[in-house]
Amino acid sequence: MRRLLTAIVVAAAAVMCLSPSPAGASTQMLGPSTNVCANAPIPTGSMPTAYFDWYQCGQPGTIYYNAKTIKVISDTPSGGTVTTCITPPPPAGFYATALSYSYNCEISKTPNGVLNNQQTLTNLNGLPSGRTLVICGVQSAPPGWTVVAVVQTYLCVYARGGGVGDNAVSIRKL
């Protein structure tokens, strides 16, 4: 019983320490989060928020972490944001509006810290007509939106320390 209680306390502390909280980011951490083994599939509507070693997934020791924290983001309100690791692709209607780097999103235990691996996702589902927004990446507009302009923004610089260049699109809801 004492071992179980200790394991619960240690797991809770690990989850609290691993929760991403980038400085200056206004994010909503909605829905439940769950720790699972790294090879577990990510359910539809969820995204990973951290990678770490967890003895419930076997003996740590490889160059990759053996567990991940996944968070349900599908309940993020229209126009709301949530911070997640970049991979896998986000659920339908969620688009990156900022990129950053976080140790929490390093899958490998030998992080390079060169490329951004974390994103702020905005839920575009249900936004009113006329709303404008900048999304990262030079891409086509999502369904029901139109591209207003190709733009440059420091929020969407993919490689840390790289130049800005055309790296985003301004879109407007039809």
Query: Among 100, 102, 76, which Cα is nearest to 90's?
Result: 76
d(CA 84, CA 116): 12
d(CA 50, CA 58): 18
pLDDT in tens, 56-104: 999 887 899 999 999 999 999 999 999 999 989 999 999 999 999 999 9
pLDDT in tens, 101-125: 999 999 999 887 778 899 999 999 9
d(CA 82, CA 33): 13
What is the pTM (predicted TM-score) of this model? Answer: 0.79
- Measure CA 57 to chain center: 22
In degrees and rounded to multiples of 5, residue 96 shows phi and psi of -70, 130
> In a 10 Å sphere around its CB, with 0-12 CB exposed, 13-18 middle and 19+ buried, how is residue 68 labelled?
buried
* More confident of the two residues 135 and 26: 135
Q: Domain for residue 164, yes or no?
A: yes
Amino acid at the residue 121? L
Q: Domain for residue 168, yes or no?
A: yes
| pLDDT given for residue 163 in this prediction | 67
3-state DSSP assignment of residue 137: coil
d(CA 19, CA 164): 29
| pLDDT given for residue 162 in this prediction | 63
Query: Among 19, 20, 57, which Cα is nearest to 37's?
Result: 57
| pLDDT given for residue 20 in this prediction | 38
d(CA 65, CA 81): 27
pLDDT in tens, 120-173: 999 999 999 999 999 999 999 999 999 999 999 999 987 766 667 899 999 999
**Locate tokens 């390079």: which residue?**
112
* More confident of the two residues 30 and 168: 168
Q: Domain for residue 18, yes or no?
A: no
In degrees and rounded to multiples of 5, residue 156 shows phi and psi of -110, 15
Q: Domain for residue 16, yes or no?
A: no
Owning domain of residue 82: 25-173
Q: Which two tokens stand for residue 16?
A: 């609290």
Q: Domain for residue 6, yes or no?
A: no
Q: Domain for residue 125, yes or no?
A: yes
Q: How many domains does the chain have?
A: 1
d(CA 35, CA 49): 10
**Locate tokens 């740590």: which residue?**
60
| pLDDT given for residue 28 in this prediction | 39
| pLDDT given for residue 46 in this prediction | 96
Beta strands 145-151; 168-173: pairing state: antiparallel
Q: Domain for residue 110, yes or no?
A: yes
Q: Domain for residue 3, yes or no?
A: no
